Structure formats: structure tokens, C-alpha cells
Amino acid sequence: MALQIFISGKYFDKDDAKISVYDHGLLYGDGVFEGIRSYHGKVFRLKQHVQRLYDSAKAIHLTIPMTQPQMADAVIETCRINSLKDAYIRLVVTRGAGSLGLDVRRTSDPQVIVIADSIQLYPKELYDRGLDIVTAGTIRNHPQALNPRVKSLNYLNNIMARLEGTLAGCEEALMLNHKGEVAECTGDNIFVVRNGEIGTPPLDAGILDGVTRGAVIELARSANYSVRETSMTRHDLYIADEIFLTGTAAELIPVIKLDGRSIGAGKPGAVFKDLLERFRRLVLEE
């Protein structure tokens, strides 16, 4: 059976899942989205992801035509109807079809889309070996222009930075904020380990409030690691003992080289390995 896509209350075969070319989600990137994971038939932290989706929508004055419980049910049903127990789920809400102009008053019928499919963001060997990354020249969006905590459909800022990484032969790229401080990578939050202490940029550094990031902070503190949300520069990363990234699709993945500099011993570190094991236990327990 073809993959079934949920669009505003109905299911369509993947090849027939369509929205209007006049939808402002397509024309202007006007909408919001979430990426979620399902493990062994259980959706990881679904309530948190749905809440963040609705928070993003509220921030851009977009009314989602479903309640949060209805959205959660649509996620679960889309996984069930596609017989997917281990899945990556993408929620998308568009502004709806309108005119060839910016006036949202001329839009109507916001589209709610739920896609459940498989995903492997990075090859397994990179989890064992670690990533090489570079710092992108493209900075993170200024938080007073568009708050990075809004997970909007306009991802060009991230895409341009990721392109810099790709052209440098890397799978990811580090993004700085408007103050030159470390923000996050193009699709992942970042953590640094130095002398046994774990650091990660605070939300006001212009980062996404990652669900996996939050889970890792909880796990680390429960394991009696010292965790600080603190501003950092590239210098702090260059001298780190370990660096690792977190994200819904990536889970946790180590970084062994940044801007040509080896990080620590140049291989995945003990803190990363411990937290990865704890995270994998967590997703099975929850």
C-alpha cells in the first residue's frame, strides 16, 4: 500500500497528497512545522512537540483548525495506518491559500499535514566515528527579526548555512548568532564537555528550544553531571574535551573536528557515549 498522508482530516496516497499552489506556505514559507520520532510504536514526547507547534503558530498569529488532542490523535493514527512503529513524523501547518500578496487576511483554510515515514539523518558509521563540521558564515536569524523559537516553514537561513557545510564536505555546520556567539547547528542543538562539565547555549543565544536538547539536559542532571546553559564562543568549542549534537532526527551524535581542529582526543568521548545510552533507554521507557 502506498504511504498515506494526512491532510486536513483526510488521507491521500503519497502521490496524490497535494495542496494549492496559492497556499502561503508554498509562496512565502508562511506556516509552522514539527519533527517527531516514534520508537516501537510509542511517539516520543508527543505532547511537548504538539505544544511547541501551537506555540509557534500562536507567535505568527496562525490559528490551527484542530485542537491539540485532535492533532495528537492524527499523529498516532497516521503511524498506525502506515503500519509504522519506528518512524519520523512531520507535522506541517500552512497559512492556507490566498492571493499573490502578503496580506494574510486574504488567506483561508489553513492546511494541516501529517507525514509519517522512515528517516536516517546520518549513516551509522558517523555515530561511531563522529562528525567533522565547519562554522558557517551565515549567522542565525536575529531574534528581533524572527524569533528562532518559532519553527517556521521558512528555513532558508538554515539551508544556506547547511549548504556552506556541504560545500566544505561536511554533514553539518555551526551557526553563530548576531553577537558572534555560538548558537546551534543548522538542524541540531550543540553541547560541549570541558573538565567533566557540560555546557550548551541558552535560549537567548537565538536557538530552537529543542525537545531532545531538553531531554538530554534532564538525563545529564539526573546522572549528576554539572550542566550549564551559558554563552559560548568558538574558542570554548575549540578547547572542548567533547562536542556532541542533539536533535529529533539525529538523536545524539558526536563531533570530532571543528574548522579543521580536532576536538579532544579526536574520537567520541565518554560523556557522549553515556548520555547516548541513557537517551536510548529513555525513549524505550517513555
**Phi and psi for 6 in degrees, rounded to 5?**
-85, 125
Distance CA 6, CA 14 (A): 9
Distance CA 194, CA 81 (A): 46
Contact 113, 152 (CB under 8 A): no
Model confidence band, residue 257 (pLDDT cutoffs 50, 70, 90) = very high
Kindly tell me the burial class for residue 32, based on how many C-beta atoms sit within 10 Å of its own C-beta (0-12, 13-18, 19 or more).
buried
Model confidence band, residue 63 (pLDDT cutoffs 50, 70, 90) = very high
In 79-93, which positions are buried (b, 16+ CB within 10 angstroms) versus exposed (e)?
beebebeebbbbbbb
The pLDDT assigned to 105 comes to 95
The pLDDT assigned to 30 comes to 98
pLDDT tens-place string over residues 213-229:
999 999 999 999 999 99
**pLDDT value at 86 more than 90:** yes
Model confidence band, residue 121 (pLDDT cutoffs 50, 70, 90) = confident
Would you state the cell numbers that stand for residue 68, as one nine-digit string?
491539540
Q: Which domains does the chain show, CATH number per domain?
A: 4-117 (3.30.470.10), 124-285 (3.20.10.10)
**pLDDT value at 182 more than 90:** yes
**Sign, Cα dihedral of 68, 21, 97, 60:** positive
Contact 208, 149 (CB under 8 A): yes
Contact 263, 257 (CB under 8 A): yes
- Judged by phi (left if over 0) then psi (alpha if -120 to 50, else beta), residue 189 lies in beta
